[in-house]
Amino acid sequence: MIRNIVFDMGNVLIYWRPELLIQRLGVPEEDYPLILREVFGDVNWIQLDRGIVTAEEAADRMCRRLPERLHSAVHQLTRGWWERPLVPVEGMAELIRELKGLGCGIYLLSNAGVDHPRYFDRVPGSECFDGRVVSAFYHLLKPQPELYQVLLREYGLKAEECFFVDDLNINIEAAVLVGMSGAVFRGADELRRSLIAAGVPVRPPEDG
């Protein structure tokens, strides 16, 4: 029986759109590909989520490969992207509150940096969460099974009672390997169908 629903954050609870972050900084459009490659596509961005470099260290390393005109944008992206408006994924706050009302445990398992506690309360539905495991604080990343096991251990959860929701199939596969069930996120309505199929009595989507 499913008793706990575990959520990823980016592109599940809030949209993660690097292009929009770049646009908000007023970066010329012709520089978008360069920043996407040298910032968001750089290993140091991943290491921020693993919690093994600071934002300042990551930005300094990225800037070595970028023209000086982009240095300010790089520092703003690594240090405070979350200070800008967070865009909620449609229907997810309502679904989370409904699940909470049904008595489900609500948990977060996310690859994110150490600044996560500074903005999570701005994520719609965040007040419903019973626990959070964020990668940077454990120096682990999904899909490493050890990070999923941290969640189970810290909150005394049974894997077979957990349903995991993530936008990446490799992260769902890792959840399955540790004994959870789950679904790749394709919108709130499709998630409702998946939860119903797993035996969670949420309301069906309006289109059935």
Residue at a domain's end among 62, 83, 104 = 83
Residue at a domain's end among 59, 83, 107 = 83
Residue 119 in any domain: the answer is yes
pLDDT in tens, 44-82: 999 999 999 999 999 999 999 999 999 999 999 998 888
Region 6-10: what's the mean pLDDT? 97
Is pLDDT above 70 for 208? no
Strands (DSSP E) contained in the chain are 4-7, 105-110, 131-134, 162-166, 181-184
Report the C-alpha gap between 50 and 46 in whole angstroms. Answer: 6
List C-alpha distances in Å: 192 to 49, 76, 121, 146.
Answer: 29, 37, 24, 28
Question: Are 50 and 102 contained in the same domain?
Answer: no
Residue 8 in any domain: the answer is yes
- What is the value of pTM for the model shown? 0.95
pLDDT in tens, 100-156: 999 999 999 999 999 999 999 999 999 999 999 999 999 999 999 999 999 999 999
Question: Are 51 and 78 contained in the same domain?
Answer: yes
Range of the domain at 177: 4-15+88-197
Strands (DSSP E) contained in 11-159 are 105-110, 131-134
User: Based on the structure, what is the number of domains in the chain?
Assistant: 2
Question: Are 65 and 149 contained in the same domain?
Answer: no
Question: Are 92 and 75 contained in the same domain?
Answer: no
Report the C-alpha gap between 15 and 66 in whole angstroms. Answer: 26
Question: Are 50 and 78 contained in the same domain?
Answer: yes
CATH number for position 173: 3.40.50.1000
